[in-house]
């Protein structure tokens, strides 16, 4: 059964509220504005539903919360009842399309980022590539970490990775994001820079965040392991390097995908959705139809396996194949032979 966070990743609060209350009185940016159903008032629409944070708040009676709070309040249900309600909702094949996935398709359907975003992204990427190969901290920290993960220089060059030696804050307008508040700067993390390009288009930049000592952060110190500058759009990472193999290996992260590509591209094509919680958008399915088998080699941990099993429900072609150790990079760096392991999967 899906846990709370899985439900929240798949069900949009905005859709649920519109289902319950009908169309909003008005829209304002990423807010839907309604008359609050939790207090008696027909004069001022005081309830705001924030489509970005997936939360609601009444500015009059102060009721607020998330998807689950909404259901518990509206239906007078306990948390376990609300959880069960959404589990059943998501499981219903006929009812799922309008509700499920809307959140994830939202930023996919509008295509790649603007030209201005891509220009700024490419300028930053070029800087980061120079830093990686020509400057001390790039060589010492960036390349060192990539080599530690088992990547070869030719792989790093082919995929255009870079290293940013210090945090940078940039104005959203420089990235073509004129509608965003200009004091909410675009953050570019210290660390590895991974460009996701597809057919000459830059879709997103992903950064593996490093601490001030030049080591990858563990992801527990208040900021995450990964960061993406605002305005990037999801896509299938790896699609540019598909070469018509009968089998696709789907890795959990970009760096795992690069390692698998380096080791096993003679037998399999490799891609990633960019995270265990990411969904397979219908727009990418056409790119996957030609594969006889799709091996989902997500991390051995709970989020990885939850994500892998969720994907595998989509089609019998998808098979869950966790690596013997933590993730693909761990497996290789702890002495495992990724090439042999993948070859073994193909013979099964
Ligand atoms: Zn209210």
Domain CATH number, residue 265: 3.40.1360.10
The 8-class DSSP code of residue 114 comes to P
**Can you state the angle between helices 13-21 and 67-75, rounded to 10 degrees?**
20
**Pairing status of strand 318-320 against strand 293-297:** parallel
Looking at the structure, tell me whether residues 182 and 245 fall in a common domain.
Answer: no
Structural domain ending residue among the three candidates 171, 202, 227: 227
Q: Tell me: pLDDT of 194 over 80.
A: yes
Q: Tell me: pLDDT of 72 over 50.
A: yes
The arithmetic mean of pLDDT across residues 176-192, rounded, is: 86
Are the beta carbons of 90 and 7 closer than 8 angstroms? Answer: yes
pLDDT for residue 248: 96
Is 86 a domain residue?
A: yes
Is 316 a domain residue?
A: yes
Looking at the structure, tell me whether residues 13 and 101 fall in a common domain.
Answer: yes
Are the beta carbons of 189 and 169 closer than 8 angstroms? Answer: no
The arithmetic mean of pLDDT across residues 202-229, rounded, is: 84
CA of 172 to the centre of ligand 1 (A): 34
CA of 42 to the centre of ligand 1 (A): 11
Are the beta carbons of 264 and 289 closer than 8 angstroms? Answer: no
Is 340 a domain residue?
A: yes
CA 276/CA 311 separation, integer angstroms? 10
Is 234 a domain residue?
A: no
Is 22 a domain residue?
A: yes
Per-residue pLDDT of 102-148, as tens digits, reads 444 444 445 789 999 999 999 999 999 999 999 999 999 999 999 99
Structural domain ending residue among the three candidates 76, 105, 134: 105
CA of 4 to the centre of ligand 1 (A): 25
> Any idea which of 116-120, 155-159, 227-231, 245-249 has the lowest mean pLDDT?
227-231
Looking at the structure, tell me whether residues 182 and 124 fall in a common domain.
Answer: yes
Give start and end residues of each alpha helix (H) in the chain. Answer: 4-10, 13-21, 67-75, 79-91, 96-99, 102-105, 115-134, 136-137, 144-148, 153-158, 254-264, 282-288, 302-312, 328-333, 338-347
Looking at the structure, tell me whether residues 337 and 311 fall in a common domain.
Answer: yes
Query: In which residue are the tokens 């030049």 written?
Result: 214
pLDDT for residue 105: 43
CA of 233 to the centre of ligand 1 (A): 35
CA of 47 to the centre of ligand 1 (A): 6
CA of 98 to the centre of ligand 1 (A): 27
Is 20 a domain residue?
A: yes
Q: Tell me: pLDDT of 93 over 70.
A: no
The arithmetic mean of pLDDT across residues 229-245, rounded, is: 89
Looking at the structure, tell me whether residues 341 and 246 fall in a common domain.
Answer: yes
Structural domain ending residue among the three candidates 193, 227, 261: 227
Structural element, H or E, at residue 204: strand 201-209
Task: Label residue 318 exposed, middle or buried (CB < 10 Å: 0-12, 13-18, 19+).
Answer: buried
Mean pLDDT of the chain: 87
Looking at the structure, tell me whether residues 120 and 91 fall in a common domain.
Answer: no
Per-residue pLDDT of 17-34, as tens digits, reads 988 898 889 888 788 999
Looking at the structure, tell me whether residues 54 and 155 fall in a common domain.
Answer: no
The count of structural domains within the chain is 3
CA of 43 to the centre of ligand 1 (A): 12
Looking at the structure, tell me whether residues 247 and 146 fall in a common domain.
Answer: no
pLDDT for residue 61: 92
Looking at the structure, tell me whether residues 195 and 248 fall in a common domain.
Answer: no
pLDDT for residue 106: 46
Are the beta carbons of 342 and 249 closer than 8 angstroms? Answer: yes
pTM: 0.69
pLDDT for residue 168: 93
Is 77 a domain residue?
A: yes
CA of 264 to the centre of ligand 1 (A): 57
CA of 23 to the centre of ligand 1 (A): 17
pLDDT for residue 102: 42
Q: Tell me: pLDDT of 2 over 80.
A: no
CATH number of the domain within which 30 lies: 3.90.580.10
Per-residue pLDDT of 291-312, as tens digits, reads 999 999 999 999 899 999 988 8
Looking at the structure, tell me whether residues 292 and 340 fall in a common domain.
Answer: yes
CA of 149 to the centre of ligand 1 (A): 53
Instruction: Give the confidence band of 223 by pLDDT, cuts at 50, 70, 90.
Output: low
Q: What percentage of the chain carries pLDDT values higher than 90?
A: 54
pLDDT for residue 10: 75
Instruction: Give the confidence band of 100 by pLDDT, cuts at 50, 70, 90.
Output: very low
Structural element, H or E, at residue 94: none
Residue predicted with more confidence, 282 or 236 = 236
Q: Tell me: pLDDT of 101 over 70.
A: no
CA of 40 to the centre of ligand 1 (A): 8
**Pairing status of strand 247-251 against strand 293-297:** parallel
CA distances, 116 to each of 36, 172, 175, 205, 228 (Å): 40, 11, 6, 14, 17
Looking at the structure, tell me whether residues 162 and 89 fall in a common domain.
Answer: no
CA of 63 to the centre of ligand 1 (A): 6
CA of 34 to the centre of ligand 1 (A): 10
Is 123 a domain residue?
A: yes
Looking at the structure, tell me whether residues 331 and 255 fall in a common domain.
Answer: yes
The alpha-carbon radius of gyration of the chain (Å, integer) is 22
CA of 53 to the centre of ligand 1 (A): 19
CA of 38 to the centre of ligand 1 (A): 5
CA of 224 to the centre of ligand 1 (A): 35
Handedness of CA 58, 62, 68, 74 (dihedral sign): negative
Boundaries of domain holding 256: 239-347
């Amino acid at each position: 059964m899906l846990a709370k966070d899985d439900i929240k990743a798949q069900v949009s609060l905005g859709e649920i509220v519109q289902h319950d209350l009908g169309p909003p009185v008005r829209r304002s940016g990423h807010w839907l504005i309604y008359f609050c159903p939790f207090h008696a008032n027909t004069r001022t629409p005081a309830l705001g539903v924030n489509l970005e944070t997936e939360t609601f708040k009444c500015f009059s009676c102060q009721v607020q919360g998330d998807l689950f709070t909404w259901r518990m309040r509206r239906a007078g249900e306990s948390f376990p009842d609300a959880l069960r309600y959404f589990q059943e909702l998501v499981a219903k094949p006929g009812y799922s399309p309008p509700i499920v996935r809307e959140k994830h398709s939202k930023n996919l359907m509008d295509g790649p980022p603007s030209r201005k975003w891509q220009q700024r992204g490419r300028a930053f990427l070029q800087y980061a590539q120079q830093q990686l190969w020509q400057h001390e901290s790039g060589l010492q920290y960036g390349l060192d970490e990539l080599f530690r993960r088992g990547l070869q220089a030719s792989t790093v060059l082919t995929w255009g990775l870079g290293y940013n030696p210090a945090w940078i804050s940039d104005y959203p307008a420089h990235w073509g994001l004129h509608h965003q508040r200009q004091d909410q700067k675009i953050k570019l993390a210290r660390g590895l820079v991974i460009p996701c390009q597809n057919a000459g288009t830059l879709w997103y930049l992903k950064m593996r965040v490093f601490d001030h000592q030049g080591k990858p952060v563990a992801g527990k110190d208040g900021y995450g392991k990964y960061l993406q500058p605002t305005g990037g759009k999801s896509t299938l990472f790896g699609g540019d390097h598909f070469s018509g193999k009968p089998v696709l290996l789907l890795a959990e992260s970009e760096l795992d995908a690069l390692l698998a590509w380096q080791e096993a591209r003679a037998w399999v094509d490799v891609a990633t959705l960019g995270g265990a919680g990411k969904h397979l958008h219908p727009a990418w399915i056409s790119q996957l139809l030609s594969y006889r088998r799709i091996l989902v080699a997500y991390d051995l941990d709970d989020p990885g396996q939850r994500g892998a099993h969720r994907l595998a429900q989509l089609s019998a072609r998808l098979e869950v194949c966790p690596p013997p150790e933590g993730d693909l990079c761990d497996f290789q760096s702890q002495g495992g032979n990724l090439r042999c392991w993948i070859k073994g999967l193909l013979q099964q």
